[in-house]
Amino acid sequence: MSCINYSKWDHIEISDDEDDTHPNVDTPSLFRWRHDARVDRMQKAEQEKTEILSAKKTSQQRAAEIRQKIKDAETEAVPDLNKLKLELSELEKQESDYKMKEEELKKKEKLTPWNIDTICHEGKSRTLINKPTPKPQELTDEEKMDRQENFTKKYKTDIRKFGMLQKYEDSMQFLVDNPDLVCEETANYLVVWCIDLEIEEKKDLMNHVSHQTIVMQFILELAKSLEVDPRNCVRAFFSRIGMAEKQYLDAFNDELDSFRTRVKGRAKVRIEEAMEKYEEEERQKRLGPGKLDPVEVFESLPEVLQQCFESKDIGSLQKAILEMPQEEAEYHMKRCVDSGLWVPDANKDKGPVQETTPTSEQSVDRETYEEVD
């Protein structure tokens, strides 16, 4: 059985364990001076070692060059051959001296007592790098919509519960208990919910849910920056936001204000789009047999014809048509018929069909009048 040699621990130089200090001497200053002196000696020794090794390397390189030149002299004439041999002899002598100095340095290092700066050194180290979470496969827009729809059906109630929470502690615990909610789909639903609340003019509720939306988005951004699963960042986010660091809180509040502004803008666009859609649907409903809008046709008529339609005076209408040039009259009458403002066969159920001329007995569709009014 081999024995462990503990003799190397017999000589250890430590600057702050001496008992032979004078009462009038500032002990901490003495220890500090001794430590600085020891560090200075170590630096000088290291510098001396570096200089010797550097000079030795330079000498060896020069000696190798000269040996190659002497070798080349066997096949071709080399000037100053004797001078090169003399220089090589000097270099070999220097190399021997450097070797001796190197041995002396090693012996000196071996005899130098250990101290607090040399007693500890790194024996073995290794770096462990967690593999980043593999990036999910890119989905098509249709697949994203299907995924969002299925997720919403399954977790809608839980998402709304999270959106209504007020305290950070409750939000953190809820996400810890429901880790499946920590994902993009939850954030997407909360965004849409905020826009719906703004459209419904539920301002206070929108402001509250928007706060929870930014909480979720900050967790997702933290996970993205660390390249880890978002579920592993829940506690980290709430711990950081709970420390109330001014820079972090300012960034959070800035993003919250910006998000609320975007929600209001998007809600306004949604309302305008809905109004445009409603107006278009109403326009399609009132189109005449020729697919013309009676409102647009009425506004394009000469003022005299507009007055006739507004007063529902057929006699005045017939007179106005007769006083117009034939081409202009035919143009306006055709548009009135195509839009439904003028119904040529309105009296066909009451008697023989009349000729469709302005002088005939004809009537104007009263429902169209009501719409125009």
Q: For residues 35 and 41, what is the distance between their CA atoms, to the nearest angstrom?
A: 10
In this model, does residue 153 exceed pLDDT 50?
yes
pLDDT band at 216 (very low <50, low <70, confident <90, very high): very high
Q: Which two tokens stand for residue 363?
A: 């009537």
Q: Per-residue confidence at 176, pLDDT binned at 50, 70, 90?
A: very high
Cα–Cα distance, 53 to 46 (Å, whole number): 11
- If asked whether residues 227 and 199 sit together in one domain, one would say yes
Identify residue 267 by its one-letter amino acid code: A
pLDDT digits (tens, 9 = 90+) for 267-306: 999 899 888 888 888 878 878 788 888 888 888 888 888 8
pLDDT at 94: 81
With respect to residue 62, please indicate whether it lies within any of the assigned structural domains: yes
Q: What is the mean pLDDT of residues 234-249?
A: 85
225 shares its domain with 274: yes
Residues 6+ apart with CB under 8 A from 371: 286, 294, 295
Kind plus residue range of the DSSP H or E element containing 12: strand 12-13
158 residue type, one letter: D
* 146/219 same-domain check: yes
Lowest mean pLDDT among 163-172, 190-199, 311-320: 311-320
Tell me the average pLDDT across 217-228. 91
pLDDT at residue 56, as a whole number:
81
Instruction: Output the DSSP codes for 313-334.
Output: -HHHHHHHHHHS-HHHHHHHHH
Higher per-residue pLDDT: 185 or 286: 185
Q: What distance in Å separates the CA atoms of residue 31 and residue 108, rounded to the nearest whole number? A: 24
Triad 97, 102, 106: Cα angle to 5°: 150
pLDDT > 70? residue 127: no
Q: What is the per-residue pLDDT for 134?
A: 58
* Whole-prediction pTM: 0.47
Q: Is the domain of 149 the same as that of 181?
A: yes
315 and 364 both lie in a single domain = yes
Domain assignment present for residue 230? The answer is yes
Of 115, 150, 171, which one is at a domain's C-terminal end? 115
pLDDT above 60 (res 3): no
Percent of the chain with pLDDT over 70: 72
Per-residue pLDDT band at 46 (split at 50, 70, 90): confident
Residue 255 pLDDT class (50, 70, 90 cuts): very high
Among 37-41, 173-177, 301-305, whose mean pLDDT is lowest?
Answer: 37-41
How many other C-beta atoms lie within 10 A of the C-beta of residue 247? Answer: 7
Residue 253 lies in a domain: yes
Q: Angle at the Cα of 92 (from 91 to 93), degrees rounded to 5?
A: 90
- Same domain membership, residue 269 and residue 300: no
> Could you tell me if 238 and 334 lie in one domain?
no
How far is Cα 328 from Cα 208, in angstroms, rounded to an integer?
Answer: 62
114 in helix, strand or coil? strand
- pLDDT at position 234 is 93
More confident residue, 324 or 360: 324
Provide the residue type at 349 as one letter.
D
Q: How confident is the model at residue 29 (pLDDT cuts 50, 70, 90)?
A: low
Q: Is the pLDDT of residue 26 over 90?
A: no
Task: Confirm whether 49 is domain-assigned.
Answer: yes
Query: Residue 126's pLDDT is what?
Result: 60
On the question of pLDDT at 262 being above 80, the answer is yes
Whether 285 is covered by a domain: the verdict is no
Same domain, 95 and 36: yes
Report the C-alpha dihedral over residues 357, 358, 362, 368, rounded to 10 degrees: 110
User: Amino acid identity of 356?
Assistant: T
The distance from CA 106 to its chain's CA centroid, rounded to whole angstroms, is 57
Find residue 114's DSSP bridge partners. Answer: 12
**In-domain check, residue 346:** yes
CATH number assigned to the domain comprising residue 245: 1.20.58.610
How many structural domains comprise the chain?
3
Are residues 227 and 335 both part of a single domain? Answer: no
Residue 6 lies in a domain: no
Query: What pLDDT does 34 receive?
Result: 64
Judge if 159 and 275 occupy the same domain.
yes
Two tokens at 340?
């439904």
Alpha-carbon distance of 174 to 149, in angstroms, equals 22
**Taking 60 as the threshold, does the pLDDT of residue 159 lie above it?**
yes
**In whole numbers, what is the pLDDT of the chain averaged over residues?**
77
Reading the block at residue 273, the tokens are: 């789009």
Write out the residue range of the structural domain in which residue 213 sits: 141-280
Give the per-residue pLDDT at 124.
55
On whether both 146 and 61 belong to a single domain, the answer is no
pLDDT-based confidence at 352, cuts 50/70/90? very low
pLDDT at position 335 over 60: yes
- 9 assigned to some structural domain: no
pLDDT score for 79: 66
pLDDT at 170 over 90: yes
The rounded distance, in Å, linking the Cα atoms of 83 and 88 is: 9
Give the domain-ending residue among 115, 133, 155: 115
Residue 135 pLDDT: 59
Asked whether 79 and 72 are in contact (CB, 8 A), the reply is no
Q: 107 and 169: one domain?
A: no
